[in-house]
Amino acid sequence: MKVLITGAAGFLGSHLCDYFLGCGHSVIGLDNFVTGNLDNLAMASKNSNFSFRELDLINGLPSSLPAVDAVLHFACPASPKDYFKYPEETLKVDSIGTFHVLEKSSRDNAKFIMASTSEVYGDPEIHPQPETYWGNVNPVGVRSVYDEAKRFSEAATMAFYRNRKLDVRIARIFNTYGPRMQVNDGRVVPNFISQSLNGEKITVYGDGLQTRSFCFVDDLVRGIYKYTTIEDPKYRIVNLGNPDEYQILQFAKIIVSLLGDGSEIKFEPLPLDDPKQRKPDISLAKEMLEWEPNISLSEGLLRTIDYFRKQIKNTL
């Protein structure tokens, strides 16, 4: 199978490149390096079945791209720090960019896998969140550049499914962490680990009682692969994430315990529109894909801490 992966130099995109290549497929990677990192493609670049092009999806795809069997659309800033910095780019890549790759999938009669997000559920009033939940999103809030971009991409994807009979799959991805995240990413796992490794106080926003669930990247890409390769999926929208739920304050104490450095915790005001709860209902993924996470939080965090320790050491 020949696969096109957008956002290939990003955190998730690069792991997907490695996974598909490791399963014997050919991969074409695309990225414009707004938030991606060429170092993330070091392993993929050693594989003769991998090719890469630097381009901006907003400007369209070159006609010289070969036909593919599947398109995985993972090009979009994913951390609040990044989409606050690049609000217009975020909106465009998940609107104009999405249409460009949908057209490519349609021309090639290729499967289309859309990287959506748990952010489409907003600050949820239903817990845990099933795929049938429409969400509670502020369409003009500070996070709307990301939330609404992804919701638009979902709508565009389903329009191609209904109008052109395109084989589409929408993966609503919940909090995922692991090696290759940016040290200064701004999300909770990189924040807590890098602050602790740097001897700083760990910043908890609000009272720390808000909850999140954390899925290790290896589990997530395994789920994406299963969703991509399954024939005639029963469900066109599927949650992928780890249903184990932790209060943020509890999670900070786990990081401190694993690092054993006695880092202190400081509290800052809660950001606007920050969700109070976040936990996936993965019943559909279990049923259709026979998938669920199997890497424990402690194992995943230790592997992530080891990566961050090396990254921080290399910058000194």
d(CA 147, CA 135): 10
Which residue shows structure tokens 């995943």?
300
CA distance 149 to 98: 10
Sheet (strand 50-54) strand order:
50-54, 26-31, 2-6, 70-73, 111-117, 168-173, 237-240
180 φ/ψ angles, rounded to the nearest 5 degrees:
85, 0
Pseudo-torsion of CA 3, 104, 282, 245, nearest 10°?
Answer: 90
What is the spatial distance between Cα 98 and Cα 101, in angstroms, rounded to a whole number?
5
> Contact, 249 vs 207, CB < 8 A?
yes
User: Which parts of the chain fold into alpha helices (H)?
Assistant: 11-22, 80-85, 87-93, 96-108, 144-164, 188-197, 217-229, 248-259, 283-289, 297-315
Distance of CA 203 to the CA centre of its chain: 23
Cα separation, 85 vs 67, whole angstroms:
34
In angstroms, the CA 228 to CA 20 distance is 10
Query: 283: buried, middle or exposed (CB in 10 Å: 19+, 13-18, 0-12)?
Result: middle
Q: Which residue out of 121, 146, 177, 246 is catalytically annotated?
A: 146
146 is an active site residue: yes
Q: How far is CA 63 from CA 14, 30, 183, 296, in A?
A: 24, 14, 36, 44
Question: Minimal CA–CA distance to 252: which of 240, 238, 262?
Answer: 262
Catalytic residues: 146
